[in-house]
Amino acid sequence: MPEPSTRPTESRPVSVEVDRLTRRYGDFTALDGISFKVHAGEIVGFLGPNGAGKTTAMKILTCFMGATSGTARVAGFDVAAQSMEVRQRVGYLPETVPLYPDMLVYDYLAFVARMRQVPAAEVHQRIQDTCRVCGLTHRANSFIRDLSKGYKQRVGLAQALIHKPEVVILDEPTSGLDPNQLVEIRDLIKEIGKEKTILFSTHILQEVAAVCDRIIVIHQGKLVADGSVAELEARVRQEDRLTLTARGDADALDDLSRRLRALAGIRRVEHLRTQGPDHTLLLTADPGPHPGAAISGAVAAAGLEVVELRLEHLTLEDIFRALTATAQG
């Protein structure tokens, strides 16, 4: 699991601000009063199961649809009252990439640049720069229909960047890619994130771990969590699991187990395996700072030596299931 980002955000301006945003379709509530902020330069993952409301929120932020109630601002402009200002400052890659298969990559990007009101004198250079960033230089004169799924995604990213937006919003940008293509697009998102604010939705947990500074989790239209992986792990953790490897005589294991169980905060002790002189035990403890010194003392008192003591982190799958199960209940 990645270390939390050390990039400070509170001192940066707010790029995306959502306040009690709600969207209803008749009796069905797709978004139910969600609120969050994204600061300039952040890469934020918008995480949730299919049907959670991610795409609805992104369509509102990119002015493709209106909210039933609540407000949203992108780059300082209200998406309802100042939609043209927002559109000029946001780049959007929807889940279904808006491509014309019978156009050349270059011609398509030129068309998008004109639609985005890029000055005519700058269009050629802008296409060259964007193709370089997106790894499309050698495919600029290819027909879009002849590109692989991964390269079509690159073209989709290029059209979202061609007008130099401040905020980039990506809806499931790695959906349907093979493992190699997925890594390429993931790396590209990280590269773009060095200069842009990025909000991207996914239900692929590995993407969040690999790319994001922060995670926003929504479930059934409600925001259920907002924070770094470490912060969300701390929120859902009910107990700590520590793996202890001790070296020495196997006859001392019963004594060691008794001593460990007697320590404050230790709930359970399980013997996992023995390999030669090394014995691995799983300790279940109360959450919080674990009694490392006391554990080492118990090992020494039993006549063994500590080889390794490691705190086992929750996986993203564990965190996600805990958050969405809590919300559902």
Model confidence at 10, pLDDT cuts 50, 70, 90, reads low
Query: Are 201 and 118 found together in one domain?
Result: yes
85 and 210 co-located in one domain: yes
Residues 169 and 258 in one domain: no
The CA distance from 13 to 319, in Å, is: 29
Is 321 contained in some domain? no
- Structural domains in the chain (count): 2
Q: Is residue 208 predicted with pLDDT exceeding 50?
A: yes
Same domain, 43 and 165: yes
pLDDT at residue 66 is higher than 60: yes
Residue 328, pLDDT score: 53
Q: What is the separation of C-alpha 295 from the centre of its chain, rounded to a whole number of angstroms?
A: 36
| pLDDT tens by residue, 75-91 | 999 999 999 999 999 99
For residues 250 and 246, give the distance between their C-alpha atoms in angstroms, rounded to a whole number.
10
Do residues 231 and 242 both lie within one domain? no
pLDDT at 7 over 80: no
Of 187, 170, 131, 176, which is closest to residue 149 (Cα–Cα)? 176
Give the Cα separation of 245 and 163 in Å (integer): 56
Contact 216, 45 (CB under 8 A): yes
Q: How confident is the model at residue 327 (pLDDT cuts 50, 70, 90)?
A: low
Share of the chain above pLDDT 70, in %: 96
Same domain, 140 and 261: no
Tell whether 1 is covered by a domain: no
> Is residue 328 in some structural domain?
no
Same domain membership, residue 228 and residue 280: no
Average pLDDT of span 190-208: 86
Q: What is the pLDDT of residue 119?
A: 96
Asked if 254 and 178 sit in the same domain, the reply is no
For residues 147 and 96, state if they share a domain: yes
Q: What CATH number is given to the structural domain containing 251? A: 3.30.70.3190
What pLDDT, on a 0 to 100 scale, did the predictor assign at position 83? 96
pLDDT band for 2, please (50, 70, 90 cuts): very low
Say how far apart CA 161 and CA 89 lie, in whole Å: 10
Convert the pLDDT of each residue in 244-255 to its tens digit: 999 999 999 999
Average pLDDT rounded to a whole number, residues 95-100: 90
What's the mean pLDDT in 42-60?
91
What is the structure's pLDDT at 230?
81
- Token digits of residue 223: 């925001």
Is residue 6 pLDDT above 50, yes or no?
no
Measured between its terminal Cα atoms, the distance across the chain in Å is: 27
Highest-scoring range by mean pLDDT, 57-61, 207-211, 315-319: 57-61
Q: What is the pLDDT of residue 326?
A: 56
Whether residue 64 sits in one domain with residue 28 = yes
Distance of CA 327 to the CA centre of its chain: 19
Domain boundary among 235, 259, 287: 235
Q: What is the mean pLDDT of residues 229-246?
A: 84
Is the Cα dihedral 84, 88, 89, 91 positive or negative?
positive
Q: Average pLDDT of 182-199?
A: 89
Give Cα 104 distance to the centre of its chain: 32
Same domain, 279 and 228: no
Please give the backbone phi and psi of residue 315, each rounded to the nearest 5 degrees, phi first: -80, 165
pLDDT of residue 57: 96
Mean of pLDDT values over 92-102: 92
Quick one: angle between helices 149-161 and 105-115, nearest 10? 30
Choice among 22-36, 62-76, 190-204, 224-238 with the minimum mean pLDDT: 224-238
The Cα diameter of the chain in Å comes to 82
Whole domain around residue 81: which residue ranges?
14-235
**What is the per-residue pLDDT for 313?**
77
pLDDT at 85: 96
Same domain as 298, residue 196: no
